[in-house]
Amino acid sequence: MQARLVLEDGTVFTGKAFGGSGDSVGEVVFNTGITGYQEVLSDPSYCGQIVTMTYPLIGNYGITRDDFESIRPFIHGFVVREHEEVPSNWRSQYSIDSLLKEYDIMGISGIDTRMLTRRIRHHGVMKGLLTTSNKRVEELLEQMKAVPLMTDQVPRVSTNNVFHCPGTKERIVVIDFGSKSGILRDLTKRGCDVVVVPQNTTAEQIRRIAPDGVLLSNGPGDPKDVQHAVKTVAQLLGEFPIFGICLGHQLFALAAGADTEKLKFGHRGGNHPVKDLATGRCYITSQNHGYTVKEESIAGTELEVTHINNNDRTIEGLRHKKYPAFSVQYHPEAAPGPFDSSYLFDDFLQLIRDHKANHPMLPRQAQIAAIYQAGSTEYTSVSKGELHYAEK
């Protein structure tokens, strides 16, 4: 079946359809990874986007149950130069075509992805329409213009319920803005007691879980579209150690008074060089984001820049000067990509231990006694079976 990719500037690419059929509108972006297409497909941060793979051979090793980064793919379209219909790998369980058909996600192959990538790099990311219809290009452009790009991606990809990954060490609350499974894997293999909460969880609800630290996950879209999360992070700042990843990094910056802006074509791939300003060491990192923290907005805040991108000098890491909180724009859990930066999870846990050592808490019974001595009625109105934590 023939498929077409129509860009908002009128450029048309004609190729062969695979996966689903019909029409799909999204923001057209590109990823420079050579491998890891299954992790790209299942990364919730691509919600609302049509993803172009710059590597020409996609699908060679098929799809396996073990490599998903979320329970299902959220992308709005997949663009490749050559799609392999018969994968060859001992781990392969089915093909990309089967996966995309299952979720009715459109794919297109046989187009010049080099030309498409150069166009995006020159003009910036733009809206696109994937279609298997026979409508005239003028009709398709009008159809695309009538469909706005999504601004509610985070609520779409976040969990709706709290869930628990039991462990015996530090309790970490992960606020799920579209978290990849790799983040949970890195925490649980370190023995953490992980509680994953929805993106709209309030600061008070998080306090009741009594975490040792809070991790702000990756996620899709513009950080300014989730202002409620910025407010929550601001309320938790200084109370618990915080670690932000990707979108979580941007939300941390906004909560601390900095600003963000959209990049021309973003960073998406597994080979982005990042410099640690403290050591001078360069790390090769996995990235997927279209927004960045504005460098000039750091002045006047209590943030300091810890990492920069060696390609375009954009901010890749931040640390709070006063509170136990830091963030990175890239993905220390990789998946796909190098594991150079997985040490950041260890740094986060050490930050938690240092914070607890420097700020020892009173035993719970002593806290309750202090409340009663102050004449509070905090515990007299608690209904049976409820946990109720005093406000700080």
Q: How far is CA 369 from the centre of its chain?
A: 43
Six token digits for residue 176: 């799920």
HSE-CB at 33 with a 13 A cutoff on CA atoms is 26
What residues pair up with 274 in beta bridges, in sequence order? 283, 309
Catalytic residue among 27, 39, 170, 333: 333
Catalytic residue among 39, 47, 170, 246: 246
Edge-to-edge strands, sheet with 213-216? 163-165, 193-197, 171-175, 213-216, 242-245, 325-328, 315-320, 303-309, 260-276, 282-293
191 is known to lie in a ligand binding site: no
How many helices and strands in the chain, by DSSP H and E?
11, 19
128 is known to lie in a ligand binding site: no
Catalytic residue among 249, 272, 320, 331: 331
244 is known to lie in a ligand binding site: no
CA distance 150 to 5: 19
309 is known to lie in a ligand binding site: no
Between the alpha carbon of residue 184 and those of residues 117, 302, 336, the distances in Å are 32, 29, 15
Helix (H, G, I), strand (E, B) or coil at 160: coil
Q: Is position 333 annotated as part of the catalytic site?
A: yes
Contact call for residues 321 and 275 (beta carbons, < 8 A): no
Q: Is position 388 annotated as part of the catalytic site?
A: no
263 is known to lie in a ligand binding site: no
Which of 213, 200, 191, 256 minimizes the C-alpha distance to 355? 213
221 is known to lie in a ligand binding site: yes
383 is known to lie in a ligand binding site: no
Between the alpha carbon of residue 200 and those of residues 51, 195, 228, 337, the distances in Å are 27, 14, 7, 30
CA distance 250 to 2: 40
Q: Is position 47 annotated as part of the catalytic site?
A: no
State the binding site for L-glutamine: 45, 219, 221, 247, 250, 288, 290-291
Please identify every residue annotated as catalytic: 246, 331, 333
